[in-house]
Amino acid sequence: MRLVVPDANIREPADPCSGARAFRYAHPEAAFEVLADGAVLAAGALPEGRAEKAFSIDLGSDRQPTVCVMSLDVPASVDLSDAELMIGEHGPVPIEPNPALDDVPEAVLR
């Protein structure tokens, strides 16, 4: 499962990252839970993320606006339809399939 932290921080794509600015709570080691109907489906600690370009246009520089993407360890057997993500006391954030990535389950912080 992907967690997208749209912090628009300036860094090189593929650099290690964690949530910046308003998303500082989404940092490595922060506790998370995946919930559905009040039941905990999965839990753990956030891993370090990897920066991905925020825009698909070439800005002509190695450093550019990025989002931080973390891969959360959620067993494939867990049904994520109607599930939500909590990071500590922050959330819930809906988990939805990303059609651009073959419907990989994804939560996007807002």
**Structure-token pair, residue 20:** 């910046």
Q: Is the pLDDT of residue 61 over 80?
A: no
Distance CA 3, CA 29 (A): 14
If one compares 62 and 59, the residue with the highest pLDDT of the two is 62
Distance CA 90, CA 93 (A): 8
Q: Looking at residue 4, what is its pLDDT?
A: 98
Taking a C-beta distance cutoff of 8 angstroms, is the pair 45, 31 a contact? Answer: yes
Q: Looking at residue 20, what is its pLDDT?
A: 87
| Mean pLDDT for all residues in the chain | 94
Q: Looking at residue 102, what is its pLDDT?
A: 96
Taking a C-beta distance cutoff of 8 angstroms, is the pair 11, 5 a contact? Answer: no
Percentage of residues of the chain with pLDDT beyond 70? 100
Sign of torsion, CA 93 94 96 100? negative
pLDDT, tens digit, for every residue of 86-110? Answer: 999 999 999 999 999 999 999 999 9
pLDDT, tens digit, for every residue of 68-90? Answer: 999 999 998 999 999 999 999 99
**Structure-token pair, residue 80:** 């994520």
